[in-house]
Structure 1
Amino acid sequence: MAGLTGCGAGSDGKARAPEEAIRVVPDDGAKGIGAHEKVEVRVPEGRRLEQVTVYGVTDGRREVLPGSVSGDGRTWKPDGGRLGLGAEYSVDAVASDGGGHTLARHTTFTTFVPPHRFIGYFTPENASTVGTGMIVSFGFNRPVENRAAVERAIRVTSSPAVAVAGHWFGRSRLDFRPRSYWRPGTRVSVGMRLRDVQASPGVYGVQQKTVAFTVGRSQVSLVDAAAHTMAVRRDGALLTTLPVTAGARKHTTYNGKMVVMEKHAVTRMNGRTVGFGGEYDIPDVPHAMRLTRSGTFLHGNYWAPAGVFGKVNTSHGCVGLRDVRGGSAQSPAGWLFDSTLVGDVVEVVNSPDTTVAPDNGLGGWNLDWARWRSGSALG
Structure 2
Amino acid sequence: MEDSVSFLRQLIRAQTGGEAAVQNVVADAARALGCAVETVRYKPGDVPMVGEFAASRAMVEGERESVVATFKGGGEGRSVIFFAHPDGEPLAGLDAWRRDPFGGVVDGGRIHGWGVADDLSGVAMMVDGLRALLASGRRPAGDVILASTPSKRHARGVSALLHGGLRADAAVYCHPAESGLGMREIKAFCLGQLDFRILVAGRPPSTNEISHLAFAHQAENPADTLMEIHARLKALADRRAEAARHPLLEQAVGRSSNLLISHMNVGTPGTHTRIASHGLIEGALSLLPGEDMNRVQASVEEAVNGLARIDWVSGISGAEVPTESPLYRIVADAIVATTGERPHVNPLHTASDIRNPIVQAGIPTIGLGPLGGDLTQNGLHDEWVDVEDYRRAVEVVSDIIIGWCGTV
Identify which of structures 1 and 2 has the higher relative contact order when contacts are C-alpha pairs closer than 8 Å and 6+ apart: 2
| TM-score where L is the length of structure 2 | 0.32
Max radius of gyration: which structure? 2
User: Comparing both structures, which one devotes a greater share of its residues to strand?
Assistant: 1
User: Comparing both structures, which one devotes a greater share of its residues to helix?
Assistant: 2
| TM-score where L is the length of structure 1 | 0.33
